[in-house]
Amino acid sequence: MLKQSSVWSKSITKLDKNDDKTYIINQVLMYGTLNEIKSLKNDYSEAEIKNTFIKNPTQIYTKPAFNLIKNFILKIDQSLDSGRYIKSVY
């Protein structure tokens, strides 16, 4: 179940599963709990989640979160430009 704390910058009641897919997936991967990440599979296939992460990156991730999500949660073996994902700390 999607929680407002994961998609904090938009009202949960105004999100559309299809139109806001990139936003929802990236926000839940970064800010959601492990249970919320698992529940993404109720709305999106594993392939959709991986493809969205790979093809529509957002710079909201910390370096540790990016590595955890890429390597362990999504199990993506290919090299990704971390600069497209990791937010600047400055």
Answer yes or no: is 1 within a domain: no
Q: Which residues pair with 86 in a beta bridge?
A: 61
Return all residues near 12 (Cβ < 8 A) that are at least 6 apart: 2, 3, 4
- Backbone angles phi and psi of 12, in degrees to 5: -60, -30
Q: Look at residue 4 in the predicted model and tell me its pLDDT.
A: 65
pTM reported for the whole predicted model: 0.88
What are the Cα distances from residue 26, in Å, to 5, 51? 13, 11
Answer yes or no: is 5 within a domain: no
Q: How many domains does the chain have?
A: 1
- Is residue 36 within 8 A of residue 28, CB to CB? The reply is yes
Q: Fill in the DSSP letter of residue 41.
A: H
> What's the pLDDT tens digit per position in 27-46?
999 999 999 999 999 999 99
Q: Look at residue 8 in the predicted model and tell me its pLDDT.
A: 65
Answer yes or no: is 3 within a domain: no
